[in-house]
Amino acid sequence: MAKMVELVAEKHVEYIVSVEKKKDAFESVVMEHLRMNGAYWGLTTLDLLGKLQVVDQDEVIPWVIQCQHESGGFGGNIGHDPHILYTLSAVQILALFDKLHILDVAAVTNYIVGLQNEDGSFSGDMWGEVDTRFSYIAICCLSLLHQLDKIDVEKAVNYIVRCKNLDGGFGCNPGGESHAGQIFCCVGALAITGCLHHVDKDLLGWWLCERQVKSGGLNGRPEKLPDVCYSWWVLSSLIMIDRVHWIDKEKLANFILDCQDVEKGGISDRPDDAVDIYHTYFGVAGLSHLQYPGVKAIDPAYALPVDVVNRILIGS
C-alpha cells in the first residue's frame, strides 16, 4: 500500500506568513493588485488551521479599511479602483476577525445595490462586465451584512436560473458553458437565498462527480486536467446539493495532499508544480470539506469557517 502523506499544517502556516512578509518577492508583485484576495485566502487558511492569532490584526484591519473607496467598494490594494471581487474579500476578512462593526455597512451596501442591472444580473464594477460570479458575490456579501433585502432578490435569482444549462450546470451568463467555478457561484447564491429548489440535484450531482479523474483530483470541465482549486468549487457544490457521497473522498484527499510542498509549505494546482497562496487555500478548504483531522469546518456557501458564519448569522 502506498505511503499516506499527511497534512503539513505547520509548514503551510509558515509559508502563508512568509508570503505576507516578502512584500517585494515575485509572488507579492504578481499579487499586488489583488492583495485583498490574497489576504483573504491566506487568513482564511490560517483560521481553518486554528492559527489566525499568528497575524497582527492591528496591521491587517487598518489596511483593509484604507482600501475602501469613496463609492463604498473596496480595491485590491490602497489607491486601487474598487471591484465587487475585492469588496467581498474585505468583508470576509473583517468577518474572520469579528470586526464587521467597524465597517461603513451603508456605503458597502449602496455600492453593491448600484451594481444590480435591470435584468437582475450584477456587474463587477462601474465598467459593467456581467457574470454570475458577481451575482454570488453580491448575495454573499449582503447576506453577511444582513442587507439582502436592499437588492431585488427575486430578479437576481431569476437571472441565475436563466443561466442553467441542460446538463444541470450553470454558466457565466445565459447560454454560457457549464463550468465548476460558475456552478459553485450559482448554487451558492441559490443556497443563501433559499432557492435550491431551482437546481436539478441528481443531474447536476452527476455532472459534478464526473469531474473526478483517475488520480482522484477534480477538473472544472470535461477533458481538462485536475486542479486542487476544483476541490473547493466542486465539493462545495456537491455538499450544498447533498450529493458529496457520490465521489471518492479518500482519493481526492490523497490528491490534495500530494500537491503539498512538504519541505517549504504551500499547495500547488497539481503534484510537483509551484505552490501559491490561492491553491494553498483551496487545498486546505477542500480537506476541510473532507473532514480532515485538525482542519476546522468551512461553510460551503459563504467560504468562511462555520463558527464565523454562525457568529454572524445566528449570533452564537
By CB under 5 A, which span of 38-46, 103-111, 219-227, 251-259 interacts with Zn ion? 219-227
Which lies closer to Zn ion via its Cβ, residue 47 or residue 227?
227
Closer residue to Zn ion, CB minimum distance, 123 or 178: 178
The span from the CA of 285 to the CA of 280, in Å, is 8
Question: Closest CB to Zn ion among 19 and 67?
Answer: 19
Residue 229 interacting with Zn ion (CB under 5 A): yes
Residues between 233 and 252 with contacts to Zn ion, criterion CB under 5 A: none
Nearer to Zn ion, 47 or 269 (CB): 269
Sign for the pseudo-dihedral over CA of 211, 215, 216, 218? negative
Report the nearest approach of Zn ion to the CB of residue 279 (Å). Answer: 6
**What CA–CA distance (Å, rounded) separates 147 from 55?**
29
Burial class (CB in 10 A: 0-12, 13-18, 19+), 244: buried
Select the span of 28-36, 109-117, 216-224, 227-235 touching Zn ion (CB under 5 A).
Answer: 227-235
Residues in the chain: 316
Among residues 88 and 229, whose Cβ is nearest to Zn ion?
229
- Minimum CB–partner distance for residue 227 and Zn ion (Å): 4
Helix (H, G, I), strand (E, B) or coil at 275: coil
Give 88 or 256: the residue with its C-beta nearer to Zn ion. 256
Q: Does 96 bind Zn ion (CB under 5 A)?
A: no
In the bound complex, what is the minimum distance in angstroms from residue 289's beta carbon to Zn ion? 16
Pull the grid cell for residue 238.
Answer: 456537491
DSSP letter string over 32-96?
A: GGGHHHHHHHHHHHHHHTT-GGGS-HHHHHHHHHHTB-TTS-BBSSTTPPB-HHHHHHHHHHHHH
Chain residue whose CB lies nearest Zn ion: 229
Selection from 286, 235, 285, 296 nearest residue 42 by Cα: 285
Number of other CB atoms surrounding residue 100 within 10 Å: 17
- Which one among 20, 47, 227, 258 touches Zn ion, defined by CB under 5 A? 227
- Mapped onto helix, strand or coil, the DSSP state of residue 182 is helix
Block residue for cell numbers 518577492: 25
269 contributes a contact to Zn ion by CB under 5 A: yes
- Binding of residue 284 to Zn ion (CB under 5 A): no
Residue 47 as a binder of Zn ion (CB under 5 A): the answer is no
Kindly tell me which of 205 and 217 has the beta carbon lying closer to Zn ion: 217
Which segment (175-183, 225-233, 289-297, 305-313) binds Zn ion by CB under 5 A? 225-233
**Nearest distance from residue 44's CB to Zn ion, in Å?**
16
What whole-number distance in Å separates Cα of residue 164 and Cα of residue 10?
A: 41
The site for Zn ion (CB under 5 A) is made up of 227, 229, 269
